[in-house]
Amino acid sequence: MTDTNIDFSEAAAPLVEKLLAPALEIIARYPAGRERSALLPLLHLVQTQEGHVSPSGVAFCADVLGINKAQVGAVATFYTMYKRRPTGDYLVSVCTNTLCNMMGGQRVYDELSEHLGVGHDETTADGKITFEHAECLAACDYAPVVTVNYDFAIDEATPESAIALVEKLRNGERPAPSRGARLGSLKEMQHQLAGFSDERDGALADGPAGTPTLRGVTLAQQHGVAVANFNPDTPIAKTKPAREGGNTGNEVKK
| Interface contacts to ligand FES, rule CB under 6 A | 95, 97-100, 136-140, 143, 145
- Least CB distance to ligand FES at residue 123 (A): 23
CB-based contacts of 104, cutoff 8 Å, min separation 6:
144, 157, 158
Judged by CB, which is closer to ligand FES: 122, or 141?
A: 141
Judged by CB, which is closer to ligand FES: 80, or 185?
A: 80
Judged by CB, which is closer to ligand FES: 64, or 140?
A: 140
Judged by CB, which is closer to ligand FES: 135, or 206?
A: 135
CB-based contacts of 50, cutoff 8 Å, min separation 6:
15, 56, 57, 86
- Least CB distance to ligand FES at residue 122 (A): 21
- Least CB distance to ligand FES at residue 120 (A): 16
Cβ neighbour number for residue 214 with a 10 Å cutoff: 15
- Least CB distance to ligand FES at residue 102 (A): 8
Q: How far apart are CA 97 and CA 80, in angstroms?
A: 15
Q: How far apart are CA 197 and CA 86, in angstroms?
A: 25
CA 62 distance to own-chain centroid? 23
